[in-house]
Chain A
Amino acid sequence: MISGYIIVWFFVFALTILVIKNKGYKGIKKSGVFAGNQAISIGRKMPFALLTAAFIAQIVPIEELSHIVGPESGLLGITISALLGGLLPGGPMTSFPIALIFFAGGAGAPQIVALISGWSIFAIHRVLVFEAPTMGWSFVTIRLISCALLPILAGLIVELLSIDGLNVPSALAF
């Protein structure tokens, strides 16, 4: 996981130099304000979002569900995961912790990919709160139909690649 930290901070460092060169310190200040505003908004929600995800993971028997979408479950498992993904509540702060428990609980890589993609594409809360009010329902309908098969497609590609031995992060060990 350390490598992930290094990559991110390397890019922060490189871009900071780029911004200073092109836009001066004014650009840095603007970026800081943008990042700060987002941080405040995320910071207020995050502890509660993470707790909600952890509680849901305790209440819903996710580990048993993971076996249904195990590596051997094939296209059916991929389809179930994609649909399940659409029902995952909230943004990345709540969805990824739940997805991680599926992953650690024994779900297959194609199925987890379908789950995360299904959540990305269908995310019910996002459609209701943001997309439908700004874009209207006929737009939403066309977008959902055009994207409907993508999560299953993503899962199938991973299945075809048949990669195993993916590392599961250790957040569950406490």
Chain B
Amino acid sequence: MNMSKSDYLFVFLACFTGFICFFTKGSDSFASAFGYSFNLLVLILPTLVGGLLLSGLIQQFIDQDKINKALGEKSGFSGLIFATLAGVITPGGPFTSFPIVFALWVAGADIGALVAYIAAWSLIGIYRLVIWEIPMMGMDLSLLRFFVSIPLPILAGFAARWLVKYLPLKVQDVAKK
């Protein structure tokens, strides 16, 4: 089994926090932490497996070239909506989404679309909602949060476009280097 650096980080964090927990709160707290994590594991496993399969299946319908074209520089309001939709359906963690953001940037997407994409992926990405949030936080709160957050990425996109106009921050050149 190939363990990556971040895998070791999780092992280390678990040992470190477990050590502190055992010696400051005693063995009862230590044991109930195990109970809590086991319950969570059982709770999320069925949706986790289904959600992972979903992310693989959706991947078959994503056409990266089309997405790049639709987010071109003067993409206006529709570009923000499109970026939001693309963010919502992007599967996986930051290790898949940021390479996509970078590719979009190089392909000519404007700052508004990029910010809307990241905001959409992080706030209303359906995979995180289905795999992690609904099983752990429950249907009520998860859906409430999801629906309330739908317009937010577009707002962020507009804010970003406005900011680059009026602030001396230049980002568009970085990708071309």
Binding site for B on A (CB under 8 A): 1, 3-5, 7-9, 11-12, 15-16, 18-19, 22-23, 27, 30-36, 38-39, 42, 44-59, 89-93, 96-97, 99-100, 103, 109, 112-113, 116-117, 120-121, 123, 126, 129-131, 134-136, 138-139, 141-143, 145-147, 150, 153-154, 157-158, 161, 163, 166-169, 171-174
Interface size on B, residues (CB 8 A): 90
Residues on the B chain within 8 Å of A116, using CB:
133, 137, 145
Cα separation A33 to B52 with both chains bound (whole Å): 10
Give residues of chain B (1-58) contacting chain A, Cβ–Cβ below 8 Å: 1, 3, 6-7, 10-11, 13-14, 17-18, 20-21, 24-25, 29-30, 32-41, 43, 46-58
- Are B48's CB and A167's CB within 8 A? no
Known A50-B40, A167-B140, A169-B43; judge A59-B57 contact (CB<8 A): no
- Are B14's CB and A52's CB within 8 A? yes
Instruction: Enumerate 28 A-B pairs (CB-CB under 8 Å) in ascending A order.
Output: A3-B139, A12-B57, A19-B60, A19-B61, A44-B10, A49-B14, A50-B41, A51-B17, A51-B33, A54-B33, A55-B14, A59-B21, A96-B133, A97-B40, A100-B137, A131-B118, A135-B98, A135-B101, A136-B171, A142-B160, A143-B160, A145-B163, A146-B159, A147-B156, A147-B159, A150-B155, A154-B148, A171-B39
A-B pair number, CB within 8 angstroms: 272
